[in-house]
Copies of this chain bind each other. A is one copy, B any other.
Amino acid sequence: MTCDPVVEGIHFVRTAPPRQIGWKAMARNLSDIAAMAGTPTFAVVSLGLRPSTPLRWIEEVYAGLHQAARQFGAEIVGGDTTHVRGAQFIVVTLLGRARRPVLRSGARVGDRLFVTGPLGNSLASGHHLTFTPRLAEAQWLRRHARLHAMIDLSDGLARDVRHLVRPGIGIELDSARIPRRTTLAAALYDGEDFELLFAVAPASAARVGRRFHEIGRVVARPGVRLDGRTLPARGYDHFA
């Protein structure tokens, strides 16, 4: 069960195409279900709308919400609407099923770390409004790899990679291998990528490596390092 708010002026600009705004609001939640290797089922939608908003805009937002839900086998079954005076918002809550959910906490020393696609520059390029949640990739991994831990990247690799760290394990990243849309800094510190970051057993690395990008490994030494040097926990912080 996951919920993820999308707020005007924060997650989308007022002039963004409303169908893409709806797509994004649903796809963020689909990405959360993908991160646990789950299958999405049912969603409800809370909308905060200014009374001056044209009906056409709302219909387009809903078209985007439905399109993303349908494409990945989910269904919108209800919701509620309120008026707001300032920024509009869309909160989708999504249910999913997983026989054996993949958690953030399962990484083991020796595991190899991968990402499903290139990182960075998502906001500037518009990728954040049109991205594909990695549900199919997660199902493939669940079937074809010894998948120990997984997370979706929303606040930047340098920040989110820390969610895989536990006492007694650390992470080494190799900058040359991080797939990027523009610069390394953007790949590390920008947010809204919605690619999956995951750890698999070494025995799965060769097979997984033919499809995805290996960017590092799980080690016994605590902390997160890039090319051997401590990586600062920068990235997107809602309350920085």
Contacts and interface: CB of A to CB of B under 8 A. Distances in A.
Interface string A1-41: 11111010111000000000000000000000000000000
Give the secondary structure class of A's interface: strand
Interface stretch (A77-85, A180-188, A200-208, A218-226): A77-85
Interface in A78-121: 78-87, 89, 91, 93, 95
Contacts of A51: 238-239
B238 A3 contact: no
Contacts of A212: none
Interface of A: 1-5, 7, 9-11, 42, 44-49, 51, 77-87, 89, 91, 93, 95, 238-239
Chain multiplicity (copies):
2
B48 A7 contact: yes
B10 A91 contact: no
Given A1-B44, A46-B91, A95-B1, A7 B238 contact: no
